[in-house]
């Protein structure tokens, strides 16, 4: 499927696919979902309820079996037939294991599938293909403290040393309170995998054995809120009564986990939430749920569940002295869309989320009458020995996005490249360099 056809498919097909009447199995659940607790605690069940409503089912409700972190979402046909969808939320890793042993039809994951998991599941098809890997929401890992802790900001290097147990007291960070108490998700958790990848492993650190571990996000957050010496990491909807601090990474500015910074994935600890379904799945409910999650209705549920939706909006950006003059001028006269285009690792091609976002951006541009010279693309890149090369590469990335928009009838106003300026992540690691290679969309 070409990218242009994919865009048309996404824009026109959201309603038609999931509104089609789905078959009701004679026995057993219509769909089995396993994986991330971050998704499975509330977002997954809420999306399932939305799909059941679109299917016209009645008496939709949740049932809680005896096993913790598992739910059944139940509806009823007009003829009284019961429809059950099972959600088990024991951590992202368990979702991929369940796909392999055929105890799940769809895996929910709060981190990208690992190479080892791709290899183990290769008989199911390419789980990195656009149809299989579905980004359903954006989340940010919040670093949380007790509300009474006066600390306002930490960098990712400090975080690594704190959670490795090398920084032992709040006084070592310029604060007060004595010994630091660590709180972390368990080994099955995609939240833990993401924190390990973004913070610990990048610096050759491991989580301290002194950390208290939790399967439940809510319980972890409440424990930090009750402990004046506590610090933990958690998905954005689970900050609850705790206090989130601003984070810096490398030369980036300090950023709080704000919706706008998470939507663009500029916030250093932002992450994607995924549905993975085998490309050749024979369960129409799995495909219908993934498609519904991408729809405007599904993204409204994402926002209502406390995560950051992928719905495209325009936002004003206040100019400041840290911005290059050309960028300051842009921010005075235009608005930035809440999406960044990023690229597949080791490739000049758009990644799977960018392919989905292209359809959303096109929809926004056309609905708001901005197809004629009202759109500027701004490219950025990672640090190079030759600044001129960084400038060129950043503009070439913007040109790659321009080609796709032009093919779909958009006449561009301007394409700019700012090289390695304004990094959102450190350039000392592959993950940071990939985040810095991005294209912003501005509209007049």
Q: How far is CA 315 from the centre of its chain?
A: 19
- The Cα 305–Cα 249 span in angstroms is 28
Residue 178 lies in a domain: yes
**H or E element, residue 438:** strand 438-443
Q: Specify the CATH number for the domain of residue 129.
A: 3.40.190.10
**Interval 98-114: pLDDT, tens:** 999 999 999 999 999 99
Residues 325 and 296 in one domain: no
Based on the domain organization, do 47 and 114 belong to the same domain? yes
Torsion sign over Cα 361, 363, 366, 369 = negative
CA distances from 286 to 18, 281, 391 (A): 10, 8, 43
Per-residue model confidence (pLDDT) at position 19: 56
| One domain for residues 167 and 23 | no
Please name the residue that has the structure tokens 């951590």. Answer: 91
pTM of structure: 0.84
Residue 109 and residue 96 in contact, taking contact as beta carbons nearer than 8 Å: yes
Low-confidence ranges of the chain (pLDDT < 50): 1-18
Same domain, 381 and 299: no
34: in domain: yes
β-pair partners for 141: 235
Is the same domain home to 21 and 68? yes
Q: What is the pLDDT of residue 11?
A: 44
Domain that holds residue 391: 312-443
- In a shared domain, residues 128 and 9: yes
Q: Give first-to-last CA distance, the chain, whole Å.
A: 32
Regarding whether 198 and 159 lie in a shared domain, the answer is: yes
Backbone phi, psi, residue 217, to 5°: -65, -40
pLDDT at 351: 92
Torsion of CA 193, 195, 196, 201, to 10 degrees: 140
The answer to whether residues 257 and 326 belong to one domain is no
> 164 and 84 in one domain?
no
Into how many domains does the chain fold?
3
Q: What is the CATH number of the domain that holds 356?
A: 3.30.1330.60
Together in a domain, 7 and 72 = yes
CA dist., res. 71 & res. 87, Å (int): 5
Q: What angle do CA 140, 144, 146 make, to 5 degrees?
A: 160
pLDDT digits (tens, 9 = 90+) for 284-306: 999 999 999 999 999 999 999 98
- Alpha-carbon gap, residue 398 to 391, rounded angstroms: 11
Long-range Cβ pairs for the range 282-287 (8 Å, 24+): 283/30, 283/31, 283/105, 283/106, 284/22, 284/23, 285/22, 285/30, 285/31, 285/51, 285/85, 285/105, 286/31, 286/105, 286/106, 287/17
Q: Could you give the CA distance from residue 237 to residue 217 in angstroms, rounded to a whole number?
A: 9
- pLDDT value, residue 6: 46
């Amino acid at each position: 499927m070409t990218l242009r056809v994919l865009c048309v498919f996404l824009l026109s097909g959201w309603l038609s696919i999931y509104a089609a009447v789905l078959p009701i199995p004679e026995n057993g659940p219509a769909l089995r979902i396993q994986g991330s607790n971050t998704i499975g605690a509330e977002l997954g069940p809420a999306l399932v309820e939305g799909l059941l409503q679109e299917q016209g089912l009645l008496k939709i409700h949740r049932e809680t079996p005896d096993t913790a972190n598992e739910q059944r979402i139940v509806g009823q046909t007009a003829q009284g037939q019961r429809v059950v969808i099972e959600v088990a939320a024991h951590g992202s890793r368990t979702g991929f294991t369940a796909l392999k042993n055929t105890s799940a039809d769809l895996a929910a994951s709060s981190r990208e599938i690992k190479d080892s998991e791709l290899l183990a599941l290769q008989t199911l098809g390419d789980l990195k293909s656009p149809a299989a890997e579905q980004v359903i929401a954006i989340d940010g890992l919040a670093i949380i403290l007790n509300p009474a802790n006066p600390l306002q900001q930490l960098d990712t290097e400090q975080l690594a040393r704190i959670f490795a147990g090398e920084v032992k007291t709040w006084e070592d960070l310029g604060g007060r309170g004595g010994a630091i108490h660590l709180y972390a998700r368990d080994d099955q958790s995609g939240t833990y995998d993401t924190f390990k990848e973004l913070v610990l492993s990048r610096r050759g650190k491991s989580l301290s054995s002194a950390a208290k571990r939790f399967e439940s996000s809510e319980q972890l957050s409440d424990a930090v809120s009750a402990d004046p010496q506590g610090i933990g990491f958690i998905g954005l909807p689970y900050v609850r009564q705790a206090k989130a601090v601003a984070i810096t990474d490398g030369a980036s500015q300090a950023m709080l986990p704000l919706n706008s910074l998470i939507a663009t994935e500029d916030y250093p600890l932002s992450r994607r939430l995924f549905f993975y379904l085998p490309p050749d799945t024979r369960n129409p409910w799995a495909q219908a749920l993934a498609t519904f999650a991408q729809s405007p209705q599904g993204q409204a549920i994402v926002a209502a569940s406390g995560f950051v939706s992928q719905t495209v909006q325009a936002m004003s950006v206040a100019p400041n002295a840290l911005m290059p003059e050309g960028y300051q001028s842009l921010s005075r006269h235009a608005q930035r869309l809440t999406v960044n285009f990023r690229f597949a690792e080791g490739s000049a091609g758009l990644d799977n989320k960018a392919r989905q976002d292209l359809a959303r951006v096109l929809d926004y541009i056309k609905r708001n009458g901005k197809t004629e010279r009202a759109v500027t693309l701004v490219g950025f890149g990672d640090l190079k020995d030759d600044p001129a090369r960084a400038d060129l590469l950043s503009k070439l990335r913007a040109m790659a996005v321009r080609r796709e928009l032009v093919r779909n009838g958009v006449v561009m106003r301007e394409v700019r490249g700012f090289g390695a300026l304004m990094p959102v992540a450190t350039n000392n690691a592959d993950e940071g360099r990939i985040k810095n290679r991005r294209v912003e969309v501005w509209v007049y």
